[in-house]
Chains A and B, each alone.
Chain A
Amino acid sequence: MTNLDKLINILKGFEYSENITKWVTIDSINADFAPFPDNVDKSLENALIESGITQLYSHQNRAFNLIKNGNNLIIATGTASGKTYCYNLPVINTILASPETTALYLFPTKALTSDQLKKIHELNSKLHFDNIKGRLDSLIAPAIYDGDTSVNERNQIRNRANIILTNPDMLHVGILPHHTIWERIFRNLKFVIIDEIHIYRGVFGSHLANVIRRLKRVSQFYGVKSQFIMTSATIANAKEFAEKLIEEPVVLLENDGSAYGNRNIILYNPPVINQDLGLRNGIIPESVKIAGDLLANHIQTIFFARSRKTVEITLRNLQSTYEKSAEAMHGYRSGYLAQERRQIENGLRDGSIRAVVSTNALELGIDMGSMDAIVMMGYPGSIAAFRQQSGRAGRMKTDSIALLIASSTPLDQFIIKHPEYLLERSPENALINPNNPLILLDHLKCALFELPFINSDHFGALAWDDLKPYLDYLVSTEEAYMRAERYLWMKDAYPANQISLRSASAQPILLLCKNNGNSKTIGEVDMESANWMVHPGAIYLHEGISYLVNNLNPVDHVAELSLTDVDYYTESKKDVDIQKISELTTEKKANYQKSLGDIQVTSKVTGFQKIRWFSREILGIESLDMPKTELRTIAYWLTLSPILIKDLREKNLWRNDQNNYGSDWSRIRQLIRERDHYRCQICGIEESGSEHHVHHKIPFREFTDFELANQIDNLITLCPICHQRAEQTVRIRSGLSGLGYVFSHLAPMILMCDEKDLGVFTDPQAKWSEMQPSVVIYDQFPGGIGLSESLYKHDQDLIRNAAELVKQCGCLDGCPSCVGPAGENGIGGKEPTLVILELLKK
């Protein structure tokens, strides 16, 4: 019995089985083979056979032929399906036939790039020549060209290499702006390979699409049109996405011919520990619990967490719970420096590291050897990410486990109730917006630096008439010069240096730790996150160690930290204000108005809470005076129509208040009515016949102590009608909050984006919508990245899924899994939220 079998038995045992809501075993699949295609060079065929490959997978064979016929290709077969051969074979084959051919390979990470170089070298070493003409293996000359490449090597590569392995950043800042010294490469550039394109969505993808536009412009200058070969994990719109990235027709190849072992996919819902509040046991304690069984049975595991903070907290918990194995457990996330990350990757490969807690950085296809188990701490946010993460288990066709532990968030609970959503539905669409004005402007600067623009030029699919305003803009900033509609770069500057492909701001904040006069860089944080992650007084976690932030200096791009051993961590509090700039389009529906427009979001971090470890007690609250950040972006908003509101009032669907206001309530009521002279404080009407009501201004349910709730300042005499109206307003406010809550959790599912790519805000008297009750959802990137636009089209999807989630939730009056915990944003808003959702559906 293998270790994995033992673990499976444990999972099926009493300790876990009652919380396992779904267990699917996908049977192993045998490979679908095909012979070598006809035009493969004999020496290449022999090299493959020498490597142990006597035949190809069906998809590798098809790829070869499609490429031979001159197509652009997107290969979207599964993880570890041998996608690399799909492009290496045609490229190497072509070089063998025409040695002057060159190819450019783009990878998103250093680790991937060096893995791929090894693969080419391995194949290269087995290429022998049959007759005596010369050494064949020197015909294939691959080389990595990136930030680490030395000056001498760079010259050699430009002179002699024919397969250039690099990354989008290097292409953007190191190669394209110097294309004249790369002349040989560009003149013979038959192939451009872009690996893992699914990660190039959102901001990064929009930048990359523009880098590709520049690349094609430069290639065209040298008289060449290259073939694009791309690979991707499974996403719904692989073909469409690829076509948007390179702006040319692409053929989709998705039928996977490779083999798989038995794959166990297990959905686990932690038990409820507080019925009324609807609280379940947290994913961190649950992960720590199962880690015990995994470690005991020697099963190498990756834990995928949703946030950097969770990685750190989990790691800390694991190391303190399993002290003996503390050394064999590591965190992995992008804030670590490159060297640390590589050490961890090696430890996974040689088995010395038994458990890694990671954000999604490891989603990328690095050859790690077989990982027996994957634990997903919470739904990773998209079906594609789920497939990628679960695909990391059992890479070498052994049996494997992918375990999803659901968190209390609405989305996770939705998935538990609808496993078919996860297992059967096709993954989401990937979105990019290459024509976002900020991004486009940046790349036009670079493009202009590379080659002049003249009348009737195009930029990718962007025509001259759309280009010209940007070029004229550059003339006005004295970066460009124009005469007779010919634009030249005219500034003593190198624009690509100022532009980062991954964010709005170029330079990250470096985190410096001062210790005994020595300063060490422990990591970095992007500008946008800095205000809420490393504000003065924040506790920053790195590899399980706590650092206190003493100072944040955005001008010098530095945060000063020092080691600390305090017993708490911090969470910051933000104030947000939203203003409408313009409405782009709007549509009136039966019960609501939907709009898409331009808004300005102003945020300010106003303070933070100190939260004790493990017990989660709030130790203190401090206020901060941080600078505000302004974001101008595209947003979708939904405004409740007056008809809907009238409906709400008339339906009167909520139950009557049956709160226990305390034993003193009658006396208090009498006091208040007396104080108010038995008059309604809103309309002035006197009591006649029946007693007026006494209304809590701040709702009773918001208080933990009924004495505070019943203080006379909080009470007011109202006639029954005004009372009902007041209650209705409260209901609307709470219904709206609940709506915002459930939308913020479900919208990312529809848009295949991260939760942090969207901002959500509600206001019963919204400034952006003529003081009507409204929910706004916006792209967290200046100028918008296409998310709100997509939501505008598919908002009924969101509404319907939200309605179903809330309806099916088992809680009493609101919980973290549907509309938000009772008592947090106002009042338990489950009922009003549900009513609103049902009305929105029509």
Chain B
Amino acid sequence: MESLFEKLKALGVNLGQENLHIKTSSKFPIDNVIKGEWLHHQFGDLYEVNNLYDYKYQHGKFGIRREVIFTKLFDISRIESKPLSLKDILFIDTETTGLSGGTGTMAFLVGLGYFTENGFTTEQYFLDDPSDEMGLMIKLNSVLSKFEVLVTYNGSSFDLPLLRTRFLINRVESPLHNKKHLDLLHLSRKLWKLRLPTLKLRDVETEILSFIREEDEVPGWMVPQIYFDFIRNRDARPLKGVFYHNCMDVLSLAVIFIHIAELLADPVTNENIDRLDLLSIARLFENNGILDESANLYKISIERGIPDDLPHKILFRYGQICKRLSQPEMALEFWELAYQNGDFSSAIQISKYYEHNQKKYDEAMRWALNGQELIDKDPSTSQSKELAHQELQKRIKRLELRLINN
């Protein structure tokens, strides 16, 4: 009588090995490799590793602060900032068995971080055995309940849905639904997409924080396999890199939070602000309806000088906002810059301004013709260009009439 193995093999399924032995112990268990503490729980054991980063610690260009003014950051992120303080905020990053998503992925290492009077503390909870997961979820429930705001990087599409699923599968109460969530990926994009091609946590860490990780680091894509190997051969040494990776993720998350908070609280006097960052913040404020501050930042940007290679469409936008704020001189400056970079919409705006605001029809005509010239030179085809072209024709005709009448 054939065993299932033999039968499956004959049917073309070839991967299994009969009588595979899974190791249960080795010379390198986790407590010999990384300093930490066992938490024994009825529903599952956890291994806890803690670190403290005090106020002397430097993470690249930045350190840990005692006070962080995050009101602006929270406002923009639509989170109610009163009466919260720094100690109500929890930073989270997970290491998982895969990126496929779905109910078959679990978090085997959860890194948490928060501010205390001594500095920034990280707590990492590790599943030495995956079947202990319920213990982890119970512990997480208890820790998370002490905080009001959860901060992640890309957590809204990955970490939080994953944790929600794990709470549900283990039938443990989840504290997630009544916590506020701040996903720093969104703000990173808005602040730095002009400067950085990709905005993963590591990119921001390297380019903005100027922090370089040590050799212990393992890249994210290797993490699941390291864990799979560990649970089968029980050699915890490769896990050191995973713990380091996770800890740095949490730490960088907190430092990015500090930096963004400070940038937004005071963009003008902040010595670390890049010209492009200033513009990005101006745009961010504009989109959030903080128009006065936005306009001020645009003005300062011009004073400090706008980089030549900035896409003209962006300049055009800045011109538009100034127009909204009834600051035509500033608008003109942006529009002219944009026009010099080839943007015909700006030329049209300038023409309109001279026609309606200033009643200087010859200037208006000059700018209309400038715009026409740009459109004619532009080889691309698009509906907006076609519409602009038609509109310009009408405008020019009207201006001709006006000029004749004068």
Docked-complex contact A782 and B232, CB < 8 angstroms: no
Instruction: Report A-chain residues with C-beta under 8 Å of the C-beta of B106.
Output: 488
The reply to whether A473 and B16 contact each other, CB–CB distance below 8 Å, is: yes
Cβ–Cβ < 8 Å partners of B97 in chain A: 490-492
The answer, yes or no, to whether B269 is at the interface (CB within 8 Å) is: no
**A177 contact from B103, B130, B169, Cβ within 8 A:** B103
Beta-carbon contact of A451 and B169 below 8 Å:
yes
Tell me, in angstroms, the Cα distance from A180 to B8 when the chains sit together. 32
Set B11, B17, B101: member contacting A783, Cβ < 8 A: B11
Q: Does B303 contact A (CB under 8 A)?
A: no
Which A477-494 residues sit within 8 Å CB-CB of chain B?
477-478, 481-484, 486, 488-494
**Would you call B8 and A492 a contact (CB within 8 A)?**
no
Contact of A178 with B by CB under 8 A: yes
State the CA gap A488–B169 with chains docked (Å): 12
Q: By DSSP majority rule, is chain B's interface helix, strand, loop, or mixed?
A: loop
Q: Are B102 and A491 in contact (CB under 8 A)?
A: no
A438: interface (CB < 8 Å): yes
Which of the residues A177, A183, A474 comes within 8 Å of B104, measured between beta carbons?
A177
Report the minimum CB–CB distance from A476 to chain B (whole Å).
4
Mask, B65-107, CB within 8 Å of A = 1, is: 0000000000000000000000000000000011111111010
- Interchain CB contact (< 8 A) of A476 among B12, B16, B130: B16
A437:B11 contact, CB within 8 angstroms: yes
Chain B, range 210-261, C-beta contacts under 8 Å to A: 224-225, 228, 231-232
* Interchain CB contact under 8 A, A489 and B10: no
Contact A450 B130 (CB under 8 A): no
Asked whether A490 lies within 8 Å of B231 as measured between CB atoms, the reply is yes
B135-173 at interface with A (beta carbon < 8 Å): 161, 164-165, 168-169
Chain B residues closer than 8 Å to A481, beta-carbon distance: 130-131, 231
CA distance A448 to B103 in the complex (A): 9
Q: Is A632 an interface residue (CB 8 A)?
A: yes
Interface contact B131-A488, CB-CB below 8 Å: yes
Residue of B nearest to A178 (CB): B102
A477 to B225, CA, bound (A): 14
In the complex, B404 has a CB within 8 A of chain A: no
> Shortest Cβ distance from A735 into chain B, in angstroms?
33
Interface centre among B20, B103, B161 (most CB of A within 10 A): B103
Chain B residues in 8 Å Cβ range of A488: 106, 130-131
Interface: A470 (CB within 8 A) = yes
In the complex, what distance in Å separates the CA atom of A419 from the CA atom of B231? 67
Contact A493 B11 (CB under 8 A): no
- B308 on the A face (CB < 8 A): no
B98, A491: Cβ atoms closer than 8 Å: yes
Chain B hits for A492, CB < 8 A: 97-100, 224-225, 228
Task: Tell me, yes or no, whether B15 is within 8 Å of chain A by CB.
Answer: yes
In chain B, residues 156-211, which have Cβ atoms closer than 8 Å to a Cβ of chain A? 161, 164-165, 168-169
Contact check, A437 vs B4: say whether CB atoms are below 8 A apart: yes
Contact present for B164 and A180 (CB under 8 Å): yes
Specify which of A478, A483, A492, A782 lies most central, judged by the most chain B CB atoms within 10 Å of its CB.
A492
Interface size on B, residues (CB 8 A): 38
A483 touches B129 (CB 8 A): yes
In the complex, whether A449 has a CB less than 8 A from a CB of chain B is: yes
A627 interfacial by beta-carbon distance below 8 Å: no
Which of B10, B22, B169 counts the most A-chain CB atoms under 10 A from its CB? B10
| Mask: chain B, 1-36; 1 = CB below 8 Å from A; 0 = not | 011110110111101111010100000000000000
Query: Is there contact, CB below 8 Å, between B102 and A449?
Result: yes
Chain B residue with the shortest CB-CB distance to A492: B98
Q: Is the CB of A180 within 8 A of B16?
A: no
Chain A facing B: main interface SS: mixed
State whether A494 touches B12 (Cβ < 8 A). Answer: no
Chain B, Cβ-Cβ closest to A218: B103
Output the least CB separation between A22 and chain B (Å).
46
A490, A630, A783: the one contacting B130 at CB < 8 Å is A490
- Chain B residues with Cβ under 8 A from A493's Cβ? 98, 100
Quick check: is A181 within 8 A (CB to CB) of the other chain? yes
Bound-state CA distance A426–B101 (Å) is 48
CB neighbours of B231 from chain A (8 A): 481, 490
A441 contacts the other chain (Cβ, under 8 Å)?
yes
User: Could you tell me the distance in whole angstroms from the C-beta of B141 to the nearest C-beta in chain A?
Assistant: 16
Name the distance in Å between B189's Cβ and chain A's nearest Cβ: 18
The minimal Cβ–Cβ distance linking B10 to chain A, given in whole angstroms, is 5
CA distance in complex: A478, B15 (Å): 9
Chain B proximity mask over A664-693: 1 for CB below 8 Å, otherwise 0: 000000000000000000000000000000
How many angstroms between the C-alpha atoms of A319 and B140 in the bound complex?
71
CA distance in complex: A716, B246 (Å):
87
Instruction: Indicate whether A529 reaches chain B with its CB closer than 8 angstroms.
Output: no
Render A170-189 as a binary contact track against B, CB cut-off 8 A, 1 for contact.
00000001111101000000
Decide if B11 touches A491 in the complex (CB within 8 Å).
Answer: no
Q: How far is the CA of A615 from the CA of B216 in the complex (A)?
A: 77
Q: How far is the CA of A783 from the CA of B98 in the complex (A)?
A: 32
CA distance A18 to B98 in the complex (A): 71
CB distance from B170 to the nearest CB of A (A): 10
Known: A470-B4, A494-B102. A478 touches B11 (CB 8 A): no
Which residue of B has the minimal Cβ distance to A484?
B131
- A494 to B99 CA separation, bound complex (whole angstroms): 9
Specify which chain B residues have a CB less than 8 angstroms from the CB of A476 in the assembled complex.
Answer: 5, 16-18, 20
List chain A residues, Cβ under 8 A from B169. Answer: 180, 451-452
Measured in the bound complex, the distance between the Cα atoms of B151 and A820 in whole Å is 77
A233-269: CB near B (< 8 Å → 1, else 0) gives 0000000000000000000000000000000000000
The B-contacting residues of A in range 135-193, CB under 8 angstroms, are 177-181, 183
A478 touches B228 (CB 8 A): yes
Query: Is A469 an interface residue when CB atoms closer than 8 A count as contact?
Result: yes
Complex Cα distance, B4 from A438, in Å, reads 11
Q: Are B131 and A441 in contact, with the CB atoms below 8 A?
A: no
A-B pairs, top 6 by smallest CB distance, nearest first, are A492-B98, A449-B104, A476-B16, A180-B165, A494-B100, A489-B104
Q: List 18 A-B contacts (CB under 8 A).
A: A177-B102, A178-B101, A183-B168, A441-B8, A449-B104, A451-B169, A473-B16, A475-B22, A476-B16, A476-B17, A477-B15, A492-B100, A492-B224, A492-B228, A493-B100, A494-B101, A632-B11, A782-B12
Besides A177-B103, A181-B165, A437-B7, 8 more A-B contacts (Cβ < 8 Å) are A177-B102, A179-B103, A449-B102, A452-B169, A478-B228, A489-B104, A493-B100, A494-B104
